[in-house]
Chains A and B, each alone.
Chain A
């Protein structure tokens, strides 16, 4: 069964810290992987999309890496701000499918 897990489930850090969110998936044959942000009561906002041929993607203070062989992706957030507080979800498009399988998310709180 193709599954996506995320650790930790929740994380609280002081403002200014660099932090790493983790995503693991059970099948290394993936097409791509996407990181989303979800604010309370809102839909999902796409942050970064990594194709299976790529090792990492960067956007501003965000950097996402992909290691297919170990079934892992990390989302690195530099110099965290209170506005980064949200739930971060990882979604994997496994090979042969058109759909994403989502992890349960990591709830991030950045304290001022």
Chain B
């Protein structure tokens, strides 16, 4: 089975610019997660989707971050405008449903100059 696909793998932007990440989950997985992993730390959940609805976005900085999963399949995460502290790896994961084992993509490494 194909895994979780993410693009791009790397992105370098200047602060105050905008950036978008894309994720395609495993086929048939209803739940999709976006995590932020800062160097030396464990992943922190930003947002969880169940199909095309948001289950949890309590840790998403909504003044600059947005995410959507319009058709309940692939998803995009956007940052606008970016700050230096947004430098991190952004991981996407999917599971059959909430609470089930999660499968992760390789992530997008974002560097803010």
Contacts and interface: CB of A to CB of B under 8 A. Distances in A.
Contacts of B42: 4, 89, 91, 102-105
Given A49-B101, A99-B48, A44 B91 contact: yes
A88 B98 CA distance: 23
A104 to B, nearest CB: 5
A59 to B, nearest CB: 13
Mostly helix, strand, loop or mixed at chain A's interface?
Answer: strand
Contacts of A36: 104
Contacts of A93: 99
Nearest to B3: A43
A36 B93 CA distance: 13
A34 B93 CA distance: 14
B109 to A, nearest CB: 8
Contacts, number: 51
A17 to B, nearest CB: 25
Interface string B80-113: 0000000000010100001101111111010000
B92 to A, nearest CB: 8
B41 A44 contact: no
Contact of B104 (A4, A44, A104): A44
Interface string B6-47: 000000000000000000000000000100000011111100
Interface of A: 4, 31-32, 34, 36, 41-46, 49, 89, 91, 93, 98-100, 102-105
18 contacts: A4-B42, A41-B106, A43-B4, A43-B91, A43-B93, A43-B105, A43-B106, A44-B93, A45-B104, A46-B102, A49-B101, A89-B42, A98-B55, A98-B56, A102-B42, A102-B44, A103-B42, A105-B42
Interface of B: 4, 33, 40-45, 48, 55-56, 91, 93, 98-99, 101-107, 109
